[in-house]
C-alpha cells in the first residue's frame, strides 16, 4: 500500500454541498483537459462526477481513446490506474485521488513470490507453463506474464484466454501445457470447470508455503495451477445464502460474479462479469426478481435504477463493500482537483518503461482474442 499524506484540515470542515459545488466548478474550468473515470463499485457521491463508468479495463481503454485529455482521474484502485497509464500515451497524466486505495486481491500476488513460484514450477514439470493473470493485478505481474509468453484476462473473456493458453486442449484430449492462473483462484477454477476441466485437474499454489505446498507429482498431474488469492468482497457470498433466498422466495434468480467461490457459482442461475450482470438485469422483463452476488454499491445502484420495475437485492445479508474503493471520497477527489487547478499534479501513477512494455504485451495478447460471451461463467 502506498502512503497517502493527510489532507489539509479545511477539507474536513467543508460541507458535502460545498465540496460538490467545487468539484463541478473544477470540471467546468478544466473542461476537455480532464476526464474522470468511475468504477462500477464506486460510491454514488463520487460516481456522479464520472465522465465514464465501467469495469477497470473498459475504463482504461476509454481513457486511451480520449484525444484531448491531459489528466485522467481514476476513481478506482491502484492497479486500475496502472492499467490506464499503460494504455494511455505519455502526455496523459493518470491520477489516483487516494494512494492508499489498493486491492487486497492484487496484493496477494507479489512479483518476488511469482518469480520464486516460476523457478519451482519449471523445475517440477517439463510441460509448457503459460502464466495468465487477471487484470486485477499489479503491473509487475502483468509484465511477468507478458515476458513469459502469457496474457491477461478479464472476468468476461477468461474462458477464451484459457482456451488460447491451453492451445485448444480439452479434458478428453489432455494437454502437454499447464496454466498458472493468478491472482484469483476462484475465477480460474470456475472458468476451467465450466470448460469441462474437473476439479481434480486443478491444484492451488500457496505462495506462503515452500514449493507452493505441493508435491512434484501434484504439479505434474495438474493442468490448472491456481494462485491462492481471492476477492475479499466476493468471498463473503456463501452457498447457504443462495439456499436462503430460494427458501424465502423461489421466484428470485441468483446472479453472481465468477470471483465467488465454486460452491456459490454451482448454485447460481447465472454467472458473469460486472458488465454481464448489468446487461442481464437491464434486459430482464418487468417484475423479475434478482439476488445479486457482487459489490454492494453496484447492487444498490441497480436496485434504485429499476425500483418499481424489477426487484433487485444483494444476495448476502452482510455489507459486501469494497473498502479500498471506498477510500476514494469527495475530500480526496476535490483535493487532487484543487491541486490541478493550482498547477500541481499529485498522486500521479507512473509505470516504468520496461514494465509498461511487457505489461502491454500481456494486455494486447488478451485484446487480440475475441471476447467470449460470459453465459454460464
Per-residue pLDDT at 371 exceeds 50: no
Per-residue confidence (pLDDT) for residue 370, from 0 to 100? 56
Per-residue confidence (pLDDT) for residue 2, from 0 to 100? 74
Per-residue confidence (pLDDT) for residue 322, from 0 to 100? 79
For the ranges 44-58, 220-234, 296-310, the lowest mean pLDDT is seen at 44-58
Q: What is the CATH number of domain 9-102+324-346?
A: 3.40.50.10800
Q: Hey, what CATH topology would domain 234-314 get?
A: Rossmann fold (3.40.50)
**Mean pLDDT across the stretch 346-375?**
84
Residues near 105 by beta carbon (within 8 Å), at least 6 away in sequence: 134, 136, 137, 183, 184, 229, 230, 231, 232, 259
Per-residue pLDDT at 56 exceeds 80: no
Higher pLDDT among residues 311 and 368, named by residue: 311
For the ranges 38-47, 196-205, 287-296, 350-359, the lowest mean pLDDT is seen at 38-47
Whether the bond between 183 and the residue before it is cis, its omega within 30 degrees of 0, is yes
Per-residue pLDDT at 284 exceeds 60: yes
Confidence class for position 373, pLDDT limits 50, 70, 90 = very low
Confidence class for position 61, pLDDT limits 50, 70, 90 = confident
* pLDDT more than 70, % of the chain: 97
What phi and psi values does residue 35 have, to the nearest 5 degrees?
-125, 130
The model's pTM is: 0.91
Confidence class for position 27, pLDDT limits 50, 70, 90 = very high
Per-residue pLDDT at 165 exceeds 70: yes
**Mean pLDDT across the stretch 169-194?**
95
Contact 191, 158 (CB under 8 A): yes
Q: What is the mean pLDDT of the chain?
A: 93
* pLDDT more than 90, % of the chain: 81
Per-residue pLDDT at 377 exceeds 60: no
Q: Where are the chain's structural domains?
A: 9-102+324-346, 106-230+358-367, 234-314
DSSP letter string over 285-349? PTT-EEEEES-HHHHHHHHHHTTTT-EEEESSSS----TTGGG--HHHHHHHHHHHHTT---SB-
What is the DSSP pairing of strand 93-95 with strand 128-134?
Answer: unpaired
Per-residue confidence (pLDDT) for residue 321, from 0 to 100? 64
Per-residue pLDDT at 108 exceeds 80: yes
- Domain 9-102+324-346 identical in fold to domain 234-314: yes
Distance, in Å, from the CA atom of 86 to the CA atom of 96, rounded to the nearest integer, reads 14
For the ranges 154-158, 159-163, 214-218, 329-333, the lowest mean pLDDT is seen at 154-158
Residue 33 has a CB neighbour count (10 Å cut-off) of: 11
Contact 259, 221 (CB under 8 A): no
Q: 38 forms bridges with which residues in the sheet?
A: 53, 75
CA distances from 355 to 96, 138, 146 (A): 19, 10, 9
Higher pLDDT among residues 323 and 60, named by residue: 60
Per-residue confidence (pLDDT) for residue 375, from 0 to 100? 33
Amino acid at each position: 500500500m502506498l502512503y497517502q499524506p493527510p489532507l489539509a484540515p479545511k477539507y474536513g470542515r467543508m460541507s458535502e454541498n460545498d465540496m460538490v459545488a467545487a468539484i463541478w466548478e473544477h470540471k467546468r474550468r478544466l473542461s476537455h483537459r480532464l476526464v474522470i473515470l468511475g468504477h462500477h463499485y464506486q460510491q454514488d457521491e463520487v460516481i456522479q462526477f464520472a465522465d465514464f463508468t465501467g469495469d477497470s479495463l473498459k475504463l482504461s481503454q476509454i481513457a486511451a481513446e480520449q484525444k484531448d485529455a491531459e489528466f485522467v482521474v481514476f476513481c478506482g484502485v491502484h492497479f486500475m490506474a496502472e492499467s490506464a497509464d499503460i494504455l494511455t500515451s505519455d502526455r496523459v497524466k493518470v491520477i489516483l485521488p487516494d494512494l492508499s486505495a489498493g486491492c487486497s486481491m492484487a496484493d496477494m500476488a507479489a512479483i518476488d513470490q511469482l518469480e520464486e513460484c516460476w523457478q519451482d514450477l519449471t523445475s517440477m514439470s517439463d510441460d509448457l507453463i503459460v502464466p495468465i493473470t487477471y487484470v486485477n493485478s499489479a503491473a509487475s505481474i502483468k509484465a511477468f506474464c507478458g515476458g513469459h509468453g502469457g496474457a491477461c484476462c478479464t472476468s468476461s473473456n477468461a474462458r477464451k484466454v484459457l482456451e488460447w493458453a491451453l492451445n485448444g486442449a480439452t479434458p478428453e484430449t489432455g494437454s502437454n501445457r499447464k496454466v498458472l492462473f493468478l491472482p484469483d483462484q476462484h475465477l480460474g477454477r470456475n472458468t476451467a470447470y465450466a470448460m469441462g476441466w474437473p476439479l481434480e485437474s486443478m491444484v492451488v499454489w500457496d505462495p506462503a508455503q515452500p514449493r507452493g505446498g505441493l508435491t512434484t507429482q501434484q504439479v505434474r498431474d495438474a493442468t490448472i495451477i491456481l494462485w491462492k488469492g481471492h476477492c475479499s468482497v466476493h468471498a463473503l457470498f456463501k452457498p447457504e445464502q443462495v439456499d436462503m433466498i430460494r427458501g424465502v422466495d423461489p421466484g428470485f434468480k441468483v446472479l453472481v460474479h465468477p470471483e465467488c467461490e465454486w460452491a456459490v457459482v454451482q448454485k447460481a442461475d447465472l454467472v458473469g462479469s460486472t458488465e454481464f450482470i448489468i446487461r442481464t438485469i437491464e434486459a430482464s422483463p418487468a417484475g423479475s426478481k434478482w439476488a445479486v452476488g457482487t459489490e454492494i454499491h453496484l447492487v444498490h445502484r441497480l436496485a434504485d435504477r429499476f425500483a418499481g420495475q424489477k426487484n433487485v437485492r444483494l444476495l448476502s445479508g452482510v455489507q459486501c463493500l469494497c473498502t479500498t474503493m471506498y477510500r476514494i471520497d469527495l475530500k480526496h477527489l476535490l483535493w487532487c482537483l484543487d491541486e490541478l487547478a493550482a498547477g500541481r499534479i499529485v498522486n500521479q501513477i507512473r509505470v516504468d518503461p520496461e514494465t509498461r512494455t511487457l505489461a502491454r504485451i500481456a494486455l494486447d495478447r488478451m485484446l487480440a482474442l475475441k471476447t467470449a460471451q460470459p453465459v454460464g461463467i
